[in-house]
Structure 1
Amino acid sequence: MADLTSKQRAHLRGLAHSLKPLAHIGKEGVTEAAVHALRQTFDTHELVKVRVLEAAPEPAKETAHALAARVSGAAVVQVVGRNATLYRPDPDEPTIRLP
């Protein structure tokens, strides 16, 4: 996916504000199991919040970009503290309309 514009990121940040983290990255870091779980989450959600636990080997920003790189079409919306928000439009029926 192409990089998001600042207007698109702002729109997605607003939508993600009330979301709870659906995926957690622990002491193992970005593993194949974590990437697989995130792909499955993207099957039902276009916008996903990921919690990077304190035991994770890399900072939240690096972890978010590593996840986005391993899930095709995913983009990092924002990283706040230990929470990262990732976006991937549904390939068939996108529900989120970007400005």
Structure 2
Amino acid sequence: MSKLTNKQIRHLRGLAHDLKPVVIVGDKGLTESVIEETLVALNAHELIKIKIRAEEREEREQMIEKLTQKTKASFIQRVGHVVTLFKRNKDAKIALPK
């Protein structure tokens, strides 16, 4: 996937504003099942929010980094414990500005 422009990221942030987290990373951390569930949600919606229940900021950042690498998704934003990811599907659901 090509890199998103700042304009596209702003557009996706706006779309994500009203979304609720569809995946929650719990006490066991970033397991294979969490990564699988994230991929399923990304394939279904393209743009999703994930709640990460890790107290340490450093630990959350590492989980976000690993999750974006494993799913090949684009990081859109992080607000507190909630991260927004985007991954373009073959049949695009979200129209992105140029």
TM-score between the two structures when normalised by the length of structure 2: 0.87
CA distance in 1, matches of 2:26, 2:2: 28
**Residue 63 (structure 1) shift:** 1.8
1:58 counterpart residue number? 59
CA distance in 1, matches of 2:96, 2:62: 25
CA distance in 1, matches of 2:27, 2:87: 25
Q: By percentage of residues, which structure has more helix? A: 2
Q: What residue identity is the alignment partner of 1:88?
A: K
Q: What residue identity is the alignment partner of 2:39?
A: R
Identity, % of aligned pairs?
Answer: 35
Q: Which runs of 4+ in 1 moved over 2 A?
A: 54-57
Q: What are the ranges of 5 or more consecutive residues in structure 2 without an aligned counterpart?
A: none
Q: What residue identity is the alignment partner of 1:67?
A: L
Per-residue CA deviations over 1:53-82 (Å, capped at 9, x if unaligned) read 1458812x332221110013x111001110
**Residue 89 (structure 1) shift:** 1.0
Alignment of 1:26-65 (within 5 A): 26-54=26-54, 58-59=59-60, 61-65=61-65
**Residue 86 (structure 1) shift:** 0.3
Q: What residue identity is the alignment partner of 1:90?
A: N
**Residue 27 (structure 1) shift:** 1.9
1:78 counterpart residue number? 77
TM-score between the two structures when normalised by the length of structure 1: 0.87
Q: What are the ranges of 5 or more consecutive residues in structure 1 without an aligned counterpart?
A: none
